[in-house]
Amino acid sequence: MVVDKLFMMQMSVVVLLICFVAGARCDFNVLPPQDAISDECVVAMETCAAKHVTTGRCKTTMGSLQLNLIRVDVDNNCQVNGSDFAAEVPRFYDIDNDGELCRNEWIARRTRYFGFSTTLTDFEFNDFSQSGACLKTSDLALIPDMDLRSVYSNNAVVRLINFCNQGDNMKTNRDCLGLPTICKEKRPELDACRQFDPSIKTLKQKIDVVFIDVDGDGLVSQQELDNDFTTNYDTDRDGCVTQVEWTGRWEAVFGISGEVATYVYVFFDGGNNCLNRTDIDLIVPPTGIPTTMFPDILITDVVTVCEKKPDLYETNADCAQAVDTCLTYFPENEACSAYAQCGLNRYTECISGLTSLWGDCCSKTDSIEVELEGRRVRNQVAPACEPYTIEDIMACLNLQNFFRKMSGWFGY
Ligand SMILES: [Ca+2]
Ligand SMILES: [Ca+2]
Ligand SMILES: [Ca+2]
Ligand SMILES: [Ca+2]
DSSP per residue over 226-269, as a string? HHHIIIII-TT-SS-B-HHHHHHHIIIII---HHHHHHHHHHHH
Nearest ligand to the C-alpha atom of residue 376: 1
Return the pLDDT at 10. 56
Nearest ligand to the C-alpha atom of residue 106: 2
Return the pLDDT at 57. 96
Q: What is the pLDDT of residues 12-47, one digit of tens each?
A: 544 444 444 443 332 334 445 677 899 999 999 999
User: How many angstroms separate the alpha carbon of residue 266 from the centre of ligand 4?
Assistant: 15
User: How many angstroms separate the alpha carbon of residue 97 from the centre of ligand 2?
Assistant: 5
User: How many angstroms separate the alpha carbon of residue 132 from the centre of ligand 2?
Assistant: 14
- Residues 100, 135: contact at Cβ < 8 Å? yes
Mean pLDDT of the chain: 89
Return the pLDDT at 404. 64
User: How many angstroms separate the alpha carbon of residue 72 from the centre of ligand 2?
Assistant: 18
Return the pLDDT at 277. 95
User: How many angstroms separate the alpha carbon of residue 221 from the centre of ligand 4?
Assistant: 21
Nearest ligand to the C-alpha atom of residue 243: 4
Nearest ligand to the C-alpha atom of residue 289: 3
User: How many angstroms separate the alpha carbon of residue 72 from the centre of ligand 1?
Assistant: 7
Return the pLDDT at 27. 32
Nearest ligand to the C-alpha atom of residue 213: 3
Return the pLDDT at 212. 82
User: How many angstroms separate the alpha carbon of residue 70 from the centre of ligand 2?
Assistant: 23
pLDDT < 50 regions, the chain: 1-3, 13-31, 412
User: How many angstroms separate the alpha carbon of residue 45 from the centre of ligand 1?
Assistant: 20
User: How many angstroms separate the alpha carbon of residue 184 from the centre of ligand 1?
Assistant: 27
Nearest ligand to the C-alpha atom of residue 230: 4
Measured CA distances, 37 to 98, 252, 366 (Å): 21, 52, 5
Return the pLDDT at 1. 46
**Segment holding 219, helix H or strand E:** strand 219-220
Q: Which of 298, 350, 344 has its CA nearest to residue 322?
A: 298
Q: Which of 13, 74, 42 has its CA nearest to residue 390?
A: 74
- Residues 157, 65: contact at Cβ < 8 Å? yes
**Segment holding 153, helix H or strand E:** helix 153-164
3-state secondary structure 80-118: ECHHHHHHHHHHHCCCCCCCEECHHHHHHHHHHCCCCCH
User: How many angstroms separate the alpha carbon of residue 134 from the centre of ligand 2?
Assistant: 8
User: How many angstroms separate the alpha carbon of residue 71 from the centre of ligand 1?
Assistant: 10
Q: Which amino acid is at 130?
A: Q
Q: What share of the chain is helix, strand, coil (3-state, %, to 5)?
A: 65, 5, 30
- With 0-12 CB in 10 A as exposed, 13-18 as middle and 19+ as buried, what is 286? exposed
User: How many angstroms separate the alpha carbon of residue 275 from the centre of ligand 3?
Assistant: 20
Return the pLDDT at 23. 37
Nearest ligand to the C-alpha atom of residue 100: 2
Q: Which residues contact 381 (CB under 8 A, 6 or more apart)?
A: 344, 345
Return the pLDDT at 411. 53
